[in-house]
Structure 1
Amino acid sequence: MSLIDERQDFSDIADVFLLHGSMQSPAFLDGRLCALLALQDLDAQAWLESVCMGLGVEQPRDPASAERLLGWRRQTLEALSGSELTYEPVLPDELYSLGEQATALKEWALGFLEVVEEADDETRSRWSETLKEAVADLHELAAMDSDIDDSPENENDLFALTEHARMAAMLLYTEQHPGQPQVEQSDVSLH
Structure 2
Amino acid sequence: MKYALLGDLHSSIEDTKEVLAHIMRHAPDAKVVGLGDLFECTVGKKKASVVRLSKIEEAAVWSNEFLSLLTFPSVRGNQEERIMMVTGRDDFNHLPEKIVIDGAVLLHGHQWKWTKEWIPVLPKTEPPLLFFGHSHEAGLYRKGRRLPFSYGVPVYLKKKRYGINAGAVWGAREWVLYDAAARTVTFMKAP
- Given the two structures, how large is their TM-score scaled by the length of structure 1? 0.26
The structure with the largest helix share of the pair is 1
- Given the two structures, how large is their TM-score scaled by the length of structure 2? 0.26
